[in-house]
C-alpha cells in the first residue's frame, strides 16, 4: 500500500512539474494565434516605403506571458526579433492584471479573476499572487529587465528627451526599438491615490482606467453597470494629466468616454480598437466619440483582430483609417494591434508591412501613411509625457499643442 501511495505521489509531483514547465507556453499557444488565412505578396514598393517608416504600436500584452520579450519563439505575436523584422520603432507594452471568468464584450462581474491562476502557474513572485498592484509592478520589472538583456536593442521611453533620442538613433545602424509601459485598467491602485506615483516611478506613462469590468474609477464597456467616472476616477485622471501620464479610453463605457473627453486638458488616446461605422461591436468608437478624441488632439489606435475590425484582413484596417481620416482628419489615426492580447490575427508584428501595403492600395499618400504608421503617435506621446508643471502657464490645451509642435 505504501508503495502504491508513493508511486501516486511521485506521479502527482511529475504532473505538477510538467504543468508548471509546459502549461503556460501551451496555454499561450492556444490563446495568441495567427489564423493562417492567405495574405497578398508584399510588393517591392511597399517594402521600401515600410522600411523607411517610424512605426509605433500603442498596445501589446506580451508582459502577461511567461516568456521574455528578448526570447525568439515561434508562437504569440511580439518578441524582439519580430519587432526588428517589422521595423517597429516604438512598442507600448500594457500590463494586464485581472480578467473575469467567461470574459466577453457584453457584461462581466469584477468578482472573478483568471490571472491569479496564471501568476501561480508561471511561478511569479508570491507577492504578485494576491496583489494587483504588485502584479503591475512586476510587469514593469519584466520590461526593465528586457531592456537590460537586449544589450542596447531596446530603449526605455519615459520622457520627451527619450523620445527625441530614439527618433535620432532610429536613423542610424543598429537602431534600438523604444518600449513604453502602460496599464490595462487601474484597478491596480487598489483604491489608493498614493499608488499612482508608485506606478509612475516604475515607468508607467499611459493607462486605461478600466479593462473588462467596472472598477473603483469608472464603468467599463464590458462591465455590469457601465457607469461613468467616479469621484476617485476624476481625481486619478487629473493626477495623470498633471504628472504626464497619457489617458487611454480603451474599454471604457460610453458614459466614461463622454466624461473623460469633456474634462480632458490633454490629448486622449484610444489605444486599441476600431470604429463602429466599420465594425459595429460595442467596444468600438461612435462618430461622436471619434470627434471627441480629435477635439482633444488625440489619436485612435486601430487593431488587427476580429473584435476590432470584424475580420482580420489588413484591408479592413485601411478602411477604418479612411473612415477616421474623412471624418476628423489623418492626424488622429494610429496603430494599436493588441498583439499577445488573447486575440487571433492574420499576421504578427513582423508582418505590419501588410498594413502599409493596404494603406497604399487604399490610396493613402506617402505622408498620410507616415502619419498613420507612427508620426501621429509620436506627436501625442511627446505631448503627453510633459508634466503639467513644465508647460507654459497658458491655456493647458494650447500649451500642450505648442509643446508638441516645438518638439517635432
Query: Tell me: the pLDDT tens digits for 282-318?
Result: 999 999 999 999 999 999 999 999 999 999 999 999 9
Q: What angle do CA 76, 169, 181 make, to 5 degrees?
A: 45
- Residue ranges of domains in the chain: 2-26+44-406
> Could you read off the pLDDT of 229-256 as tens digits, one per residue?
999 999 999 999 999 999 999 999 999 9
DSSP 340-363: TSS-EESS-GGGTHHHHHHHHHTT
**Element at 345 (helix H, strand E):** strand 344-345
In the prediction, which pLDDT does 29 show?
86
In the prediction, which pLDDT does 20 show?
52
Report which of residues 204 and 9 the model is more confident about. 204
Per DSSP, 285 falls in state B
Instruction: Kindly indicate the confidence band of residue 15, based on its pLDDT and cuts at 50, 70 and 90.
Output: very low
Instruction: Kindly indicate the confidence band of residue 18, based on its pLDDT and cuts at 50, 70 and 90.
Output: very low
Which of 2-6, 266-270, 339-343 has the least mean pLDDT?
A: 2-6
Q: Which distant-in-sequence residues (6+ apart) come within 8 Å of 91 by Cβ?
A: 56, 57, 60, 78, 83, 177, 178, 179, 180, 349
Per DSSP, 272 falls in state E
**Beta strands 33-34 and 204-208, pairing class:** unpaired
In the prediction, which pLDDT does 241 show?
98
The C-alpha torsion from 175 through 155 and 56 to 228, rounded to 10°, is 180
Q: Which distant-in-sequence residues (6+ apart) come within 8 Å of 302 by Cβ?
A: 273, 274, 308, 309, 317, 320, 321, 333, 334, 335, 336
The pTM of this model reads 0.92
Q: What angle do CA 81, 137, 391 make, to 5 degrees?
A: 90
**How far is the C-alpha of 280 from the C-alpha of 287, rounded, in Å?**
12
> By three-state DSSP, how is residue 246 classified?
strand
> Could you read off the pLDDT of 135-151 as tens digits, one per residue?
999 999 999 999 999 99
In the prediction, which pLDDT does 258 show?
98
Cell reading at 219: 464603468
For residues 355-371, give the mean pLDDT. 98
**How far is the C-alpha of 259 from the C-alpha of 52, rounded, in Å?**
39
Fold for 2-26+44-406, please state it.
TIM Barrel (3.20.20)
**Element at 184 (helix H, strand E):** strand 177-184
Would you say residue 341 has pLDDT above 50? yes
Distance separating the N- and C-terminal Cα atoms of the chain: 76
Would you say residue 174 has pLDDT above 80? no
CB 74 within 8 A of CB 153: no
Instruction: Kindly indicate the confidence band of residue 11, based on its pLDDT and cuts at 50, 70 and 90.
Output: very low
Amino acid at each position: 500500500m505504501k508503495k502504491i501511495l508513493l508511486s501516486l505521489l511521485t506521479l502527482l509531483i511529475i504532473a505538477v512539474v510538467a504543468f508548471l514547465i509546459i502549461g503556460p507556453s501551451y496555454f499561450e499557444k492556444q490563446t495568441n494565434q495567427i489564423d493562417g488565412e492567405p495574405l497578398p505578396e508584399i510588393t517591392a514598393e511597399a517594402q521600401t516605403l515600410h522600411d523607411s517608416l517610424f512605426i509605433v504600436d500603442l498596445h501589446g500584452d506580451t508582459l502577461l506571458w511567461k516568456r521574455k520579450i528578448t526570447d525568439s519563439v515561434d508562437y504569440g505575436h511580439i518578441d524582439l526579433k519580430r519587432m526588428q523584422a517589422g521595423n517597429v520603432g516604438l512598442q507600448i507594452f500594457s500590463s494586464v492584471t485581472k480578467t473575469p471568468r467567461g470574459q466577453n464584450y457584453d457584461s462581466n462581474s469584477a468578482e472573478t479573476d483568471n490571472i491569479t491562476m496564471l501568476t501561480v502557474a508561471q511561478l511569479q513572485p508570491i507577492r504578485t499572487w494576491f496583489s494587483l498592484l504588485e502584479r503591475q509592478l512586476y510587469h514593469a520589472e519584466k520590461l526593465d529587465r528586457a531592456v537590460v538583456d537586449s544589450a542596447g536593442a531596446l530603449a526605455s521611453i519615459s520622457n520627451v528627451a527619450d523620445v527625441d533620442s530614439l527618433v535620432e538613433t532610429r536613423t542610424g545602424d543598429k537602431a534600438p526599438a523604444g518600449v513604453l509601459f502602460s496599464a490595462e485598467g487601474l484597478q491596480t491602485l487598489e483604491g489608493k491615490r498614493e499608488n499612482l506615483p508608485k506606478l509612475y516611478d516604475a515607468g508607467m506613462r499611459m493607462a486605461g482606467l478600466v479593462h473588462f469590468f467596472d472598477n473603483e474609477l469608472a464603468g467599463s464597456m464590458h462591465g455590469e453597470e457601465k457607469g461613468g467616472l467616479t469621484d476617485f476616477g476624476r481625481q486619478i485622471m487629473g493626477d495623470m494629466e498633471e504628472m504626464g501620464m497619457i489617458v487611454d479610453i480603451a474599454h471604457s463605457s460610453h458614459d466614461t468616454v463622454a466624461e473623460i473627453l469633456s474634462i480632458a486638458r490633454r490629448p486622449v488616446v484610444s489605444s486599441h480598437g476600431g470604429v463602429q461605422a466599420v465594425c459595429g461591436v460595442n467596444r468600438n468608437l461612435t462618430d461622436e466619440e471619434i470627434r471627441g478624441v480629435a477635439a482633444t488632439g488625440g489619436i485612435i489606435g486601430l487593431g488587427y483582430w476580429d473584435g476590432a475590425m470584424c475580420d482580420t484582413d489588413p484591408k479592413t484596417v485601411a478602411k477604418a483609417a479612411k473612415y477616421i481620416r474623412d471624418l476628423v482628419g489623418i492626424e488622429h489615426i494610429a496603430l494599436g494591434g493588441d498583439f499577445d492580447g488573447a486575440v487571433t490575427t492574420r499576421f504578427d508584428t513582423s508582418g505590419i508591412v501588410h498594413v502599409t501595403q493596404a494603406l497604399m492600395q487604399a490610396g493613402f499618400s506617402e505622408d498620410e501613411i507616415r502619419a498613420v504608421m507612427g508620426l501621429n503617435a509620436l506627436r501625442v506621446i511627446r505631448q503627453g509625457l510633459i508634466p503639467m508643471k513644465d508647460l507654459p502657464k497658458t491655456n493647458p490645451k494650447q500649451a500642450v499643442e505648442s509643446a508638441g509642435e516645438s518638439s517635432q
